[in-house]
């Protein structure tokens, strides 16, 4: 596992099981930079507003992901249209499987097609909820139906990857000034390990941002007082698609 400390932001822990191959080193670099820039952008927002941007829904999450990508990608586009193989996805998932992908990213002559999901993990229970599992399964299905689109994008690059990415804030609801899971990195790493074991198919890249102590809260939302000790990024990254794979 790789770890990195970012002053005033927190600590990053990354575990990648991607097998050596074409584009893999660039892919590891791409997602390592994504979680780092996400952490930095989130820190800017927190210090300006005293609220956590990832505490809201998926739509608000884009306000942090997009500027993070702008820091290091050569180009990216939100919700570009793609051709999907509609017949290969179950009817109940069609509503969530629109004709666009969340992000098209171009980095070091590699294309990343990313389906983004958002969920929550309790630091007290440490459980991977059914909602998180269901959202992950939908993202995996969505990757399958854009396989042909990935091959097309590979024609004008060194290759393309399809990616299911879930961003999962870890929270604790507490009225105490001394919440149980703050400054407990071992608890957060255990949740990271549980995610790797329980999501099916298993993620092959996972990162944890342990927030700096000044950023974790308390945050007051309606009738709750919340703390956010960490954020997990979990990704399932496909094999690379290249010009030759289209033949």
Token couple for 13: 């822990």
Contact 37, 212 (CB under 8 A): no
The reported pLDDT for the residue numbered 99 is: 57
**Hey, where are the domains in the chain?**
2-241
Contacts of 206 (CB under 8 A, 6+ apart): 14, 15, 16, 192, 195, 196, 232, 233, 234, 235
Spatial distance between the Cα atoms of 247 and 244, rounded to a whole number of angstroms: 6
The pLDDT value recorded for residue 166 is 96
Cβ-contact 188, 198 below 8 angstroms: no
pLDDT along the chain (247 residues), means of 10: 94 95 95 98 96 90 96 93 48 48 94 95 93 94 83 86 96 81 88 93 96 92 87 95 66
Report the alpha-carbon distance of residue 94 to residue 58 in Å, rounded: 18
Burial 50-64 (b: 16+ CB within 10 A, else e): eebbbbeeeeebeeb
Q: What's residue 245's pLDDT?
A: 55
pLDDT of residue 83: 54
């Amino acid at each position: 596992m790789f770890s990195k400390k970012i002053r005033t932001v927190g600590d990053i822990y990354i575990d990648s099981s991607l097998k050596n191959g074409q584009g893999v080193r660039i892919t590891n670099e791409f997602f390592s930079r994504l979680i780092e820039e996400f952490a930095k952008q989130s820190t800017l927002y927190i210090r300006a507003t005293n609220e956590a941007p990832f505490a809201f829904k998926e739509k608000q999450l884009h306000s942090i992901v997009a500027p993070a990508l702008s820091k290091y990608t050569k180009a990216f586009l939100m919700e570009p249209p793609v051709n999907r193989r509609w017949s290969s996805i179950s009817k109940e998932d069609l509503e969530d499987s629109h004709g666009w992908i969340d992000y098209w990213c171009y980095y070091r002559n590699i294309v990343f097609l990313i389906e983004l999901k958002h969920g929550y993990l309790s630091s007290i229970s440490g459980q991977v909820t059914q909602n998180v599992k269901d959202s992950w399964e939908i993202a995996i299905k969505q990757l399958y139906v854009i396989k042909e689109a990935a091959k097309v994008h590979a024609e004008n690059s060194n290759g393309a990857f399809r990616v299911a990415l879930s961003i999962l804030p870890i929270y604790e609801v507490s009225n105490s000034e001394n919440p149980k899971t703050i400054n407990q990195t071992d608890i957060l790493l255990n949740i990271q390990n549980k995610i790797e074991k329980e999501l099916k198919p298993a993620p092959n890249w996972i990162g944890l941002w342990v927030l700096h102590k000044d950023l974790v809260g308390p945050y007051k939302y309606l009738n709750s007082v919340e703390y956010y000790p960490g954020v997990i990024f979990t990704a399932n990254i496909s094999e690379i698609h290249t010009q030759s794979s289209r033949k």
